[in-house]
Amino acid sequence: MAWKAQTQVMMKKYHNKFMGTFDKISKIFLPVHDSECSHWFVLVIYFDKKQLIYLDSLPSHSACADRMRSIKKLALYMEEFLMDSSFYMTWTRNKPNISEFSLVTPKDLGMQAANSNDCGIWVIKWMMEKGTNEYQIDVDEGTRLRIALDLILDPSNLLNETTLAVAKQSRRVEQIN
């Protein structure tokens, strides 16, 4: 999503494919890219607790104000996005005032190594774990390998056969040498 994207266009694009009705949604995980630092972090909208949860594997004091501004913009955008009646099968739940949710940063999240490019791995892992263990995760070589294999082998990856063929060819060359 881009800041300039029209809400109605984005809603039609993502609603049926990824979200379903609001009555069934408890959390929404939104990966956010900080283009100034080329860094990814996650915003979790947790409806039951009325919280915006900020997950960042490499928090930056100098980028903090910009990231908080992005979170506030995204909260307002999602509030408008979820106001559409197509998200509501029943009226058992009130439409959320996401902009009024409290901002929470869990303690002791762990951090990616300095000078690493692991922020994307942290984001994927947080999204996969869905908040179990209060967002406490570990990222190691096994995590990186598992995520890489999942991405390569996923049936929706149009390049998975090509990638596997290249890997097999590379393996053959390695065995010859």
Domain ranges of the chain: 7-110
Question: What's the number of CA atoms in the CB half-sphere (13 Å) around residue 25?
Answer: 23
**What's the rounded Cα separation, in Å, for the pair 68 and 60?**
11
Q: What is the pLDDT of residues 79-131, one digit of tens each?
A: 888 877 767 666 556 778 999 999 999 988 889 988 888 999 999 999 999 98
Q: What is the pLDDT of residues 125-145, one digit of tens each?
A: 999 999 888 899 999 999 999
Pick the CATH number of 7-110 from 3.30.70, 1.20.58, 3.30.310, 1.10.3470: 3.30.310
**What's the rounded Cα separation, in Å, for the pair 10 and 16?**
11
